């Protein structure tokens, strides 16, 4: 290899071409179109390495195939290659000039952030005004995501401190905001002010700690105030940290509450327009509600002039299964999948529904045996209702939808039902 070739090879490597591929390109430049075997021999590579390098050079536009059998490969002329490098370098410089001010602003903001590698990973903030000022600054620096858990009266106090305006501005520049807070009749008005610029949920569980997480790298936790040690909201102390373990705990706390929370819109409807149309079907006293259902159907047919109404049985079964699953979910314990499955198995046993057991963990496979309903006269129970009930229980307990497979109805009476459970 001559000195000039070495210089060219170094240039190729600088522009992202692997050295072995670069040697083949130079061989094609020197000797004209060649076969893969000839390129491999000229560059000192075996056949497998040569074919791999040829594919890379073709994708980079440095080799072009021509001819038939055997196929030959022609090099992009060096002058065209150098012109391409000059053109790309000019485009990069132009982009850098255009983005200069934006890059400097972003770097300036980045330098004001707490450094995760800094020795001091914790700091104390004392007093409501200090904490709110710090929050406004960090909200202004957030780029991807803000997770917030706010206690009872925190929403109204945040409005007074201008936190809502800072969040709205963050939302406008693309920051995802997930806000958790108990929405009560007294706080619903304040909560509605946050809904337009946040994904907001009503916390079903008590708020133990007010927390904020910024971009998975910084977290603030209130350690005193009305929800903590302080006698009033005026006495507030908060702890912020960039320590990964501290941030992870705050994120996990938010996720745990979020999983069981209710969308704010649903909570608003519940508080302002309570449902009065529920049809309660009680064991041993089902005649009256089903008579009411018959009356509603007949009135609807009369009002629309319809002489016949065909009901979709699978759709009705799905509606019933979803309600049954929600009611069962409200009675069993568990905050993760193994705990929920264990609680569900105990529920099956104590309510004489048969025996539920885990057959396999990945994917989660459940088997129900000794079920009184799995008979030939009611294939819809095992094939349609049972999978929907199981899916509804898991969704309501874990806060995410699941797909539950339908078992073979021909095997109900002898082997029970097997259900494969996967996240939707």
Residue 159 has pLDDT above 80, yes or no: no
Q: How far apart (Å, rounded) are the C-alpha atoms in residues 149 and 55?
A: 53
107 part of a folded domain: no
Q: Are residues 7 and 143 in the same domain?
A: no
How confident is the model at residue 149, as a pLDDT? Answer: 92
User: Which of 154-168, 246-260, 395-409 is predicted most confidently?
Assistant: 246-260
- pLDDT value of residue 378: 63
Can you give the pLDDT at residue 370?
A: 76
What is residue 385's predicted lDDT score, i.e. its pLDDT?
82
Which of 368, 361, 355 minimizes the C-alpha distance to 338? Answer: 361
Residues 320 and 306 in one domain: no
> In this predicted structure, what is the pLDDT of residue 250?
93
Tell me the CATH number at 61.
1.10.10.10
Site of tokens 């406008």: 172
pLDDT classification of 5: cutoffs 50, 70, 90? very low
Lookup: tokens for 73: 């490969």
Up-side HSE of residue 232: CA atoms within 13 Å toward CB?
Answer: 1
Mean pLDDT, to the nearest integer, of 410-424?
Answer: 72
So what's the pLDDT on residue 375?
A: 57
Question: Token digits for 212?
Answer: 């904020």
Integer angstrom CA distances of residue 294 from 141, 232, 287: 60, 57, 10
| Least trusted range by pLDDT, from 116-125, 362-371, 415-424 | 116-125
**pTM of structure:** 0.41
Of 107 and 234, the structure prediction assigns the larger pLDDT to 107
Rounded to a whole number, what is the largest CA-CA distance in the chain? 98
pLDDT-derived band at 43, boundaries 50, 70, 90: confident
Mind listing the pLDDT tens digit for each residue in 107-154?
765 544 555 455 557 888 888 888 888 899 999 999 999 999 987 677
pLDDT-derived band at 166, boundaries 50, 70, 90: very high
- Report residue 145 CA to chain centroid gap: 12
**287 and 353: one domain?**
no
Banded model confidence at residue 289, pLDDT cuts 50, 70, 90 = confident
What are the angstrom distances between the C-alpha of 315 and each of 280, 300, 395? 19, 19, 19
The answer to whether residue 239 is domain-embedded is: yes
**Are residues 358 and 319 located together in one domain of the fold?**
yes
Cβ of 423: how many Cβ atoms within 10 Å? 12
Q: Residue 148 corresponds to which tokens in the numbers above?
A: 């917030």
Q: Residue 276 above 80 pLDDT?
A: no
Greater pLDDT, 299 or 181 = 181
Residues 367 and 241 in one domain: no
Residue 170 has a pLDDT of 93
CATH number at residue 359: 3.30.1380.20
Number of CB atoms found within 10 A of residue 387's CB: 23
Whether 100 is in a domain gets the answer no
Quote the domain boundaries for residue 303: 278-310
Give me the long-range contacts of 133-136 (CB less than 8 A, separation at least 24).
134/220, 134/238, 134/240, 135/161, 135/163, 135/166, 135/212, 135/220, 136/161, 136/162, 136/163, 136/166
- The number of folded domains in the chain is 4
342 and 369 both lie in a single domain: yes
- Flag whether pLDDT at 352 surpasses 50: yes
The region of weakest confidence among 91-100, 284-293, 362-371, 394-403 is 284-293
Q: What is the sign of the dihedral through the CA atoms of 101, 105, 110 and 112?
A: positive
- Residue 414: the pLDDT is 56
Mean pLDDT (the chain, rounded)? 81
């Amino acid at each position: 290899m001559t000195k000039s070739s070495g210089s060219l090879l170094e240039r190729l490597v600088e522009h992202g071409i692997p050295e072995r591929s670069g040697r083949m390109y130079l061989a094609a430049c020197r000797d004209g179109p060649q076969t893969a075997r000839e390129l491999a021999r000229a560059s000192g590579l075996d056949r497998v390495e040569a074919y791999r390098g040829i594919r890379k050079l073709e994708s980079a536009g440095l080799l072009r195939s021509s001819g038939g059998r055997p196929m030959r490969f022609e090099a992009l002329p060096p002058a065209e290659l150098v012109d391409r490098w000059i053109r790309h370098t000019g485009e990069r410089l132009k982009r850098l000039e255009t983005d200069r001010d934006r890059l400097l602003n972003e770097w300036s903001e980045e330098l004001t952030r707490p450094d995760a590698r800094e020795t001091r990973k914790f700091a104390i903030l004392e007093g409501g005004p200090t904490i709110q000022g710090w929050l406004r600054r960090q909200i202004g620096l957030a780029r991807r995501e803000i997770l917030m858990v706010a206690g009872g009266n925190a929403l109204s106090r945040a409005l007074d401190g201008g936190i809502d305006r800072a969040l709205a501005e963050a939302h406008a520049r693309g920051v995802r905001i997930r806000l958790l807070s108990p929405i009560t009749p007294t706080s619903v008005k304040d909560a509605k002010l946050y809904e337009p610029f946040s994904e907001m949920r009503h916390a079903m569980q008590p708020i133990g700690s007010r927390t904020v997480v910024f971009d998975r790298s910084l977290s603030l936790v209130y350690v005193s105030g009305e929800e903590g040690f302080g006698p009033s909201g005026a006495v507030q102390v908060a702890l912020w940290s960039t320590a990964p373990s501290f941030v992870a705990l705050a994120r996990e706390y938010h996720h745990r509450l979020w999983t069981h929370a209710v969308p704010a819109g649903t909570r608003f409807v519940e508080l302002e327009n309570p449902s009065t149309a529920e049809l309660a079907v009680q064991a041993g006293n089902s005649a009256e509600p089903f008579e009411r259902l018959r009356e509603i159907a007949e009135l609807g047919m009369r009002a629309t002039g319809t002489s016949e109404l065909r009901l979709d049985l699978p759709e009705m079964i799905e509606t019933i299964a979803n309600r049954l699953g929600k009611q069962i979910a409200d009675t069993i314990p568990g905050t993760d999948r193994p705990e929920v499955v264990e609680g569900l198995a105990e529920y099956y046993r104590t309510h004489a529904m048969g025996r539920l057991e885990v057959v396999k963990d990945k994917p989660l496979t459940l088997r129900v045996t000794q079920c009184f309903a799995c008979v030939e006269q009611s294939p819809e129970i095992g094939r349609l209702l049972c999978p929907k009930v199981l899916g509804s229980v898991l969704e309501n307990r874990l806060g995410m939808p699941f797909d539950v497979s339908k078992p073979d109805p021909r095997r109900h009476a002898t082997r029970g039902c097997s259900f494969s459970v996967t996240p939707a």
